[in-house]
Structures are given as structure tokens and as C-alpha cells.
Structure 1
Amino acid sequence: MIDIPASKKECFFEDLHVNDKMTVTYQVGGGGHLDIDFWLADPDNHALAKHIKETTGTVSITAEKDGRHEFCFSNQMSTVVDKIVSFNVHGVIYVDSDDTVAPIEREIRALAAGLTAVKDEQEYIVVRERTHRNTAESTNSRVKWWSVMQAIVLFLVVAWQVYYLKSFFEVKRAF
């Protein structure tokens, strides 16, 4: 999880070899309209993926070149609000199909991939729960203040009516 200040961007790097696979999954957990700009570039700085003002996203690539791949989160569209972004980077080192892989090793890799998927799903659920809790707390606060305001208006109207009715029944004397 990272905080991205308003009008800033945060970049990260991953060194990949040809045929390595990488997946980046992200979700905005707080700030503004819960949107962020994201892009992923190869070592020659060619864009492999670009998401503009997205709340969540997943990008999977297979490296076509050796070198440092860059992915960035940008909050430059916002001048006031900081954003909280949760993200995961998964990499799979390419194994040539000609290599002989023991069946137990294949199963271990499958279990590791499944475990990673479960962990990512749990992190996604935690971020969603936080977002929903913030929404519920905000709604509760608005309902509370609306009720207080209605009670104040009710008492003011009652006070005005009592005063008006009292003055209506008051006897006016002329001297």
C-alpha cells in the first residue's frame, strides 16, 4: 500500500527477461473519486498498458525484451487530494517447455499460484471493506447532522408558533 500525494507520481521497476510474465493488480483505497492513472512501459519506454482515472485494474504482460520494466501510479490530475493505492506485483519466471519438470514441482508451482491468487483476493476484500466502511461512516455522519438540524428547525417553528398564538390572544387596551 502506498500514499500518492496530490500532483505527484510514484514509479516502480521490475527487471524481467524475455518470456518472463508479470502481472500488476491495483486498487485505489482512499482519496477523491477513488481514481488513479497507471501505465506500464518496457525498457525502451514504450507503453505496454495505460489506464486513465481507473479505480481498479489488472495488467498482465509477457516480456519481449530483457531489461527494467517500469510501472507508475500518477495522481497528477488531483491538486488537493492524496490517494491510497494498494497493489500487487506477481512474476512468473519463464520455464522452457523443453525442460523436464518433475510432476511434484509442477504441482508446487500450481499450489503457489493458487495461494497467490487467494492472498490477492483477501487484500482486495480488505480494501473494499475499508471503502464501504468509510462510505457508511460518512452516511451516518450526514444523517446525524441532518437530524440535529431538523430538531433545531422544529424547536424554532414551535417557539415562533407559541409566540404568534400568544400575541394573537393578547388583549390590546387603549388608554
Structure 2
Amino acid sequence: MKFSQCISFYLTLLVSFISSVTCLKFEIEAKEEGYKNTCIRDFVTEGQMVVVNINSSGSVGDGQTLNFFIVDSLGNQYKDKKDFAGKTRVAFTAHSSAAFDVCFNNVVGHHGPDNLFREIELDIESGSAARDWNAIQAAEKLKPVELELMRIEQLTNEITSELKYLQKREERMRDTNESTNERVQNFSTMVIVALVGLGAWNVYYLRNYFRSKHIL
């Protein structure tokens, strides 16, 4: 094996290991409207590209109405599709660093048989894994090693961005902890002052009381 081929092999292995890809296969039973959605959650950073591939069994009009929507924890909705079957591909760019949910619900028809369900294959790719590298290689006429280096560069940039985001979160949490600690200290000082004042008032009151009764 040539040196360039070795580099290409190990770079491909590294990118395949680190890239963010989520593949799931599950079943959704058809039920009446109003039941809880089935949701799959993932996390992306701001500006990151996400590709969601969905493959459903069955067909439209088989007594089931399969719906899905994609929404993040901040309320941004990226897709909402009703009554679908087969393959569906959704690509979007995250508006902010947040968790997002791919939610499904399967509604049974009024005259449909019981025990209906749909099989779902869900593939979520984000970041460098979501890009069409074959198209990039063909458009820019890159060698395999050059392509892998480009993938590694983008992956490194994504990791750096995530580390910066985590650093900001840590700083924000530290500021929150320091603020909470300062408030607790101030509250403790107020409690001590109140207790000392109450104790002094009790001593003063009891001394006057005993004097008025000629006990002291």
C-alpha cells in the first residue's frame, strides 16, 4: 500500500469514527389522535448543517396517517409534513445551538383495522457528515487525500466551535454559581444580623420585665 493510500485510509477511518451520525430503526403503532408523539432528540451547534433521512414502510391510504415534524428546544420549526410514506429527506441549517427533536405520530383511520403500524428508518447526519463529499470532489477535482484533508479541516473547525460553545456555557454557569453564592452569603449575613438583633431585644425585654417585677 502506498503512503498516500495509507493516509487516505486512516483519515477516512478517523472521520468515520468522529462524525456525528445517528441511525435508528423502530416501529410506530397507529393510534387515535391525541396520544403522545414519538420523538428522537439530537443536538447541534449554531450554523451547523443537518440532514434527516426518513424511510417509512406502507403507503398513503393504507388506513394510517403518518406525520412528522422537526423542532428545536427554542421553538424553531424546520419541517412539518403530514400523511407521508416512503423516503423523505430534510436538510436545514441550525438557527442556534440547541437540542432538536424529530417527532412522529401515526393516526389510525376511522374504519381501519387494528394493530396497524409503520416501520421507520431514521438517519440523522450533522456537520461534516451531512455534506455531499462526492459532489465536492467532482466539482473541485480533488484527490482522495485532499478530500480527506478538507473533511478533517471542517471536522476540526466544528470541534473547535463546540469547545468554544462549551467554554461559554461553563463561563455562564460559573457566573451563575458565583452570583448564587453571593446571594446566599448576603442572605446568611442578614439572618445572623436578624438573630443577633432578636437576641439583644429579648435580653433587653427580659431585663426590663424582671426589673418591673422587682426580681432583679
State TM-score, norm by structure 2: 0.41
State TM-score, norm by structure 1: 0.50
Q: Which has the larger radius of gyration?
A: 2
Greater helix share, structure number: 2
